[in-house]
Amino acid sequence: MKIRVTGHSFQGVFPFGSSGPWNNFERVLIDRGHTICGNDYSEKADAIIANSFNTEIRDYILNSDIPKERRILVLWEPYIVEKTRYLPKVLELFGSVFAPSIDWADRVNGRAFSWPQDDFTSENVFENWEDRLNQAVMVQGNKFSARKGEQYSLRRRTLSQTNIDELLLFGTNWNKGINFDWWHWSRSLINSSWSDVSLKSLYGLGKINSQYAGESSNKSQTLKNFQISIVIENSSDFISEKLFDSVRAGCLTLFVGPRLDRYGIPNDSAFEVSDDPKEIVALLRRLLQLDISEKKSLAKKQYDALKPISRKWKNSTVLTSVAREMITVLES
């Protein structure tokens, strides 16, 4: 069977590279005796694994006469970011849908897998932990969605209730001004139905945050400079790398997202907080007042809780497993 695997950015050929976890994905397909399309859309395929979707991919599917049962769509973004792949007319084109989220998979009657993560290293992240800043850090971008369920505005609301002594902010697209923020937010508005729109998503557009310390050239190293980290997922229907990055760096982590136990993650892996900025800031202030030895002990407890389960989320493990499941679907 000749299989086309599209890239995340609409490439007709996935950039697997010669090593790494995605190379493991490719190897599973090849080891089962299949070939992978290496040319543009002029080369026909017997099956497709679409990591992206646009009109070019749609037309290719229809013009190539690929049977529906040999078409797989992968959702890599929540509905609040990308609506297109959740549309019934798109889903109807595919025989199977895979998603790195239990909630996304449930929404489209698809198959869930874990979001691929970097592995925990053997490094002792708690050595010299006492030298870290007694502040919280947020390493997240300022993003925009007009749709209900977005938590980008929650980041901005949380920032508005803290000061620079409590929280430092790193990431992209902060303090760009109202024109920049409005333009990006309005793009989402244009592509949303009125029933999907949340007026809360407007909060903080154009605001200049005094806590902003610039972009981070090395997220892991930035996190390791702080005792506490606040992680607010883009939406409350998936767990991405953000939680793992924070805990792996040894930070005492406050997490806003889906219930951890729903995703098979121990509740002790982070302080789970509701999407209420007052609750987030109240907990942050209580933690900042704790004795440093108690904070370190709590951070280590989170680390020890997440590390064992992280092996199941390791990128090479996840991508090897999902490739095997996909090829079984395509061969059936």
Q: Are residues 232 and 326 in the same domain?
A: no
Q: Are residues 176 and 153 in the same domain?
A: yes
Q: Are residues 7 and 38 in the same domain?
A: yes
Does 145 reside within a domain? yes
Residue 186's alpha-carbon distances to 77, 92, 205, in angstroms, are 19, 29, 11
Q: Are residues 154 and 99 in the same domain?
A: no
Does 204 reside within a domain? yes
Does 8 reside within a domain? yes
HSE-up of 121 (CA within 13 Å, CB side)?
A: 8
Does 123 reside within a domain? no
Q: Are residues 166 and 144 in the same domain?
A: yes
As beta bridge partners, residue 2 has: 35
Tell me the residue range of the domain where 323 lies. Answer: 2-116+315-331
pLDDT in tens, the chain (332 residues): 999 999 999 999 999 988 889 999 999 999 999 999 988 888 999 999 999 999 999 999 988 889 999 999 999 999 999 999 999 999 999 999 999 999 999 999 999 999 999 989 888 999 999 999 999 999 999 999 999 999 999 999 999 999 999 999 999 999 999 999 999 999 999 999 999 999 999 999 999 999 999 999 999 999 999 999 999 999 999 999 999 999 999 999 999 999 999 999 999 999 999 999 999 999 999 999 999 999 999 999 999 999 999 999 999 999 999 999 999 999 98
pLDDT per residue over 207-232, tens digit each? 999 999 999 999 999 999 999 999 99
Q: Are residues 134 and 251 in the same domain?
A: yes
The span from the CA of 217 to the CA of 40, in Å, is 34
**Domain tally for the chain?**
2
CATH code, domain carrying 92: 3.40.50
Does 124 reside within a domain? no
Could you give the angle at the alpha carbon of 181 between the alpha carbons of 11 and 253, nearest 5°? 80
Does 109 reside within a domain? yes
Does 277 reside within a domain? yes
Q: Are residues 242 and 290 in the same domain?
A: yes
Q: Are residues 304 and 184 in the same domain?
A: yes
Helix (H, G, I), strand (E, B) or coil at 212: strand
Beta strand spans in the chain (E): 2-5, 35-36, 47-50, 71-74, 96-99, 111-112, 133-139, 167-170, 226-232, 252-256, 271-272
Residue 17's pLDDT is 85
CATH code, domain carrying 283: 3.40.50.2000
Residue 40's pLDDT is 84
Q: Are residues 168 and 242 in the same domain?
A: yes
Q: Are residues 32 and 154 in the same domain?
A: no
Residue 64's pLDDT is 87
Does 291 reside within a domain? yes
Per DSSP, 9 falls in state T
Q: Are residues 110 and 180 in the same domain?
A: no
Q: Are residues 237 and 209 in the same domain?
A: yes
